[in-house]
Amino acid sequence: MQVSNRYRLIEPLGEGGMGVVWRAYDELLDRTVAIKEVRYAGVGEAKRAELNRRTIREARAAGRLDHPSVVVIHDVVEQDGRPWIVMQLVRSRSLAQVVREEGPLRPGQVAMVGGRVLDALRAAHATGVLHRDVKPENVLLADDGRVVLTDFGIASLEAEAGLTASGGLVGTPAYMPPERLNGEPARPESDLWSLGATLYAAVEGEPPFKRDSWAATVAAVLRDEPEPPARAGTLTPVIMGLLRRDPGTRMPAEEAARLLHEAAINAPGDSRQATALQGMRPAPAGGPGHPTSEAPAYPTAGERPAAVRERSRRGTTLWVTLSAVAVAAAVGTGGTLLYTSRTTPTPTPTAAPSTSTSGPAPTPAQTLPAGWRTFTSPAGRFSIAIPEGWRATKHPTRDSISFKGPGSPGMMIVEWTTPEVSWKSPEQAWLALEKEIQAKGEFQGYTRIGITLLRYRGRAAADWEFTRIRDKQLIHVINRGFHTADGRPFALYWDTTDARWAQDKHYFTKFARTFKSL
């Protein structure tokens, strides 16, 4: 069968209460896609026409979203009296399937997945789009490492009059917030409640209000307090905060994002991290490779930002907002992100000069991790602890030092400079840099995990975390941007292979904990 004389249906991929999802072939663009055939059973012609209008309208609304963790909608057509939604085919397993097959996930895994879903919801809410059916079945753990939120087919634009105001209840009771069950309209906080229930199910194995029947589940959501999760650990505060009954006191998205970020970063390593979500990421090709030691350049006065440059076009750079080190080091042999105005040869990095030496013992607040030593850079006016056997490399023309050594394929870079342009929000700084990256299309498989505001050393900071593909490997990056008390901008960058992220993320935690400006 063909849809719209263009899409040839191949096989069904799944079936739910609102229709069937098909694998299909787009004969015009020569690609495989997923098509959702939306079916409404047991309704009259007038009601069906109304539902079709709503579905088409809301699918178009979802199609406006441009976010790596939101499934891409290519087309919406109407045929045989029902809508067909043409979407990107995401090779994946759903979160529900992973939990069903592998058992409850570890808190660190759930924090990572939850952070990406929340990032997608925040992007949707910023454009007025609500999801209204966040649940494990609609969270896809993709083979390429992404976490994708799908089925915005019952989403609703806040700015438009809802066609379900007459009484149609859409959603899954176990993941539906109390206000929705009480007949109140959906709001952004409603999606946050559903996210909390989804995180609860992921870490506990079942949702907080699961009962023996639909009616009993609804009654439990409306009446009962959720039982605190037993396995959530550091995730407990964010889960319980999102499950507050009153939307007005429900944990805000910004706070939830911060707590999920911290839980993901600080979760203890676990061998199951690499296997319980096996369907999320490809196996590294050729074993873990060492990232490049080439650090990004920094500015000279009077330069202005220009573009992303490949390795052959590297040049000197300008500090515009925050350090570009996150993306620069992440490119590896494929190129470096530079804000440039002229091209110059890039010298090969050399070992750190003798002016960078082992410094004094840390203060009590900076107790050295076992097997680590203090490194001090007079040029950068900072000290930081590094593992024994790791080597510091000072770039001869750039204000950055990279650290690499045995025990991990990862690399740490500390970068500093004199600010040329002031900035007020580190979050907005990263967003601006990300926008330029995406506009240039230089990062293969780039996926933002989150840009999270936090307090670091008593000052505003932002952690930019993302993944990208480099040399056929999925690379996981975190970069912390901030100003010191005397106004100097710094970036603390860490990257490693995504397969080693859970095992190696303690490095970044220790680097950040022991960093001190001088």
Dist. CA 59–CA 50, nearest whole Å: 14
**CA end-to-end span of the chain:** 70
Contact 90, 36 (CB under 8 A): no
Dist. CA 294–CA 310, nearest whole Å: 13
- Options 26, 119, 133, 504, the catalytic residue: 133
Minimal CA–CA distance to 402: which of 486, 322, 290, 501? 290
Contact 88, 68 (CB under 8 A): no
The two three-digit tokens of residue 438, written as one number:
């995406």
Contact 276, 109 (CB under 8 A): yes
Q: Which residues neighbour 235 within 8 Å (Cβ) at sequence distance 6 or greater?
A: 107, 110, 111, 114, 199, 203, 229, 259, 260, 263
At which residue do the structure tokens 């008390």 appear? 485
Q: Which residues neighbour 191 within 8 Å (Cβ) at sequence distance 6 or greater?
A: 121, 124, 125, 130, 131, 132, 134
Q: Which residues neighbour 375 within 8 Å (Cβ) at sequence distance 6 or greater?
A: 356, 357, 358, 359, 383, 384, 385, 386, 392, 403
Question: Residue 21: what residue type?
Answer: V
At which residue do the structure tokens 């506990």 appear? 204
Dist. CA 82–CA 287, nearest whole Å: 49
Per the rule left: phi > 0, alpha: psi between -120 and 50, beta: everything else, 107 is alpha
Q: Is 133 a catalytic residue?
A: yes
Dist. CA 324–CA 337, nearest whole Å: 7
Dist. CA 180–CA 200, nearest whole Å: 19
The two three-digit tokens of residue 7, written as one number:
């899409």
Partner residues linked to 376 by β-bridges: 357, 383
What's 461's DSSP letter? E
Which residues are known catalytic residues?
133
